[in-house]
Amino acid sequence: MDWLNKQIKAPDKSYYQQALSKQQQLTKPIGSLGTLEDIAVRLAAMQKSSNPSIDRVWVSIFAADHGVAEEGVSAFPQIVTTEMVKNFVNEGAAVNVLSRYVKAQFEVIDVGLLKPVELNKLIVNRAGNGTANFTQQAAMTEKQLTKALLAGKSAVERAIEHNTQLFIGGEMGIANTSSATAIACAITGLSVDQLTGAGTGLSSKEIQHKSQVIQNALLLHQKHISSPLKILQHIGGFEIAALVGAYIFAAQQGIAILIDGFISSVAALLAVNINSQSQQWFFFAHQSQEKGHQFVLEYLKAKPLLDLSMRLGEGSGAVVAVPLLQMACNLHNEMATFEQAKITVN
């Protein structure tokens, strides 16, 4: 897993300054387009281009099952993970609709469903038959962790073959908010009660039960979760590990990354703790309604682009934000300067 620690170059400073200078010459008060200006300038630096663009978007959905589902921490039965994978492949999920709208390349990867399924267009890159129940033992072995991380790396390699300009990772896995919450607690030091949310739609009593399950698991593993990778191995999920691998490798390759909601942001949190330079390549799409997301974003000092009260996961919130990035680029590239418009500013 040495590749995770390989150097990540920063976006190009000269293109950043050039883009910043251009923004100050466009026919508007300086800063009046707010975050749209910042997006364009950052993308110019990432792409080393005077005319940044987001025309080629790649969406990878990583799916896996969780042993902790046995503890009754989700409002949905575990079979829903596989049923949703079939829905993704048949292009019937929300993220499919949104991906079509932004003309994104779309793929679904089985990183560890409970049972293998044969589906056309499903990419199979399995680390195991779901994770173990982390209330009783480590969620995965070191070998499984390595496989899951490499599944994320492989997705980015496919994206590179298509010259993608923006990578989006999504996830599907019943009970994965429990795993993500446990990881967030282990890294941030915040309490389980602070971070535990409703996930797929639990009642307050069910949230209490979920919180207790996570608390017990953290106590069980407290002596072993001494590093981000150990945290991932003991209380993580295969799809979360795949996202971590994808985010780090995409950053190493100089590809802009748009982070989705709670689960994806926890994967980003792990990525930053493994390779701190990766965050320079992240955009955070939205503030999820899932309770812990706000705390994770605050810990990362990340400013989300949108707040639409979404909590679906599967990369949906990130794809919704794609047009914002595209509009930011168009404004940067196509607006007239004061000189071109013959507008006097002095």
Q: Which of 37, 171, 239, 314 is catalytic?
A: 314
Rounded distance between C-alpha atoms, residue 72 and residue 209, angstroms: 8
- Using an 8 Å Cβ cutoff, are 123 and 110 in contact? yes
DSSP letter string over 10-33? Answer: PPPHHHHHHHHHHHTTBSS-TTTT
What is the rounded CA–CA span in Å between residue 291 and residue 119?
34
What DSSP state is assigned to residue 306? B
301 φ/ψ angles, rounded to the nearest 5 degrees: 55, 40
CA distances from 257 to 41, 53, 209, 218, 231 (A): 15, 14, 35, 30, 23
Q: Is 20 exposed, middle or buried (0-12, 13-18, 19+ CB in 10 A)?
A: middle
Q: What does the block give as tokens for 144?
A: 């499984």
Give the full edge-to-edge strand order of the sheet including 256-259.
122-124, 105-112, 57-64, 166-172, 256-259, 282-284
Other beta carbons less than 10 A from residue 104's beta carbon: 21
Active site (annotated) includes residue 314: yes
Question: Looking at the annotation, which residues are catalytic?
Answer: 314
